[in-house]
């Protein structure tokens, strides 16, 4: 897991105004790794994996994906329709990107003052190294 830790640290350093990066396995509900410039409250870290699973595979999200697939004439082959999510909170930008392994998601947290386009581009570029680290 040292490789994952290094890949997450590299991502934090390369993404504009990035404060934290994490990698979540949705099938097991485990937070596989996290790197942060500050210490984070234990409660937040413990909830990250569960909240990310709800975002990507919650009941309503799964239902919406199924409806979209059906409307477009696509078969329900387990591929997930939603690949990225961006959440803007009062002070932060949260970027969630599904990995090639559809059961894994990278999460990046940046200051709200970051250029969203640049943060998203750099986050997308960081995911392959994070995936390869496992």
- Residue in this structure with the two tokens 């990035």, named with its chain if needed: 18
Q: How many domains would you assign to the chain?
A: 1
The model carries a pTM of 0.91
For 37-50, the pLDDT digits (tens) are: 887 777 787 788 89
Residue 107's contacts (CB-CB under 8 Å, 6 or more residues apart) are 20, 21, 22, 23, 24, 48, 52, 94, 95, 96
For 107-129, the pLDDT digits (tens) are: 999 999 999 999 999 999 999 99
Identify the band that residue 15 occupies on the pLDDT scale cut at 50, 70 and 90: very high
Domain that holds residue 88: 2-132
CATH no. for residue 79?
3.30.450.30
């Amino acid at each position: 897991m040292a490789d994952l830790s290094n890949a997450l640290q590299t991502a934090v350093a390369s993404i504009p105004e990035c404060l934290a990066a994490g990698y979540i396995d949705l099938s097991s509900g485990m937070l596989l790794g996290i790197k942060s410039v500050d210490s984070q409250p234990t409660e937040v870290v413990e909830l990250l994996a569960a909240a990310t699973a709800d975002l990507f595979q919650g009941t309503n999200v799964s239902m919406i994906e199924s409806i979209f697939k059906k409307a477009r004439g696509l078969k329900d082959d387990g591929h997930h329709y939603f690949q990225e999510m961006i959440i803007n909170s009062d002070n932060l930008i949260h970027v969630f990107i599904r990995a090639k392994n559809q059961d894994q998601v990278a999460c990046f947290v940046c200051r709200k003052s970051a250029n969203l386009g640049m943060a998203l581009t750099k986050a997308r570029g960081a995911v392959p190294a994070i995936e390869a680290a496992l």
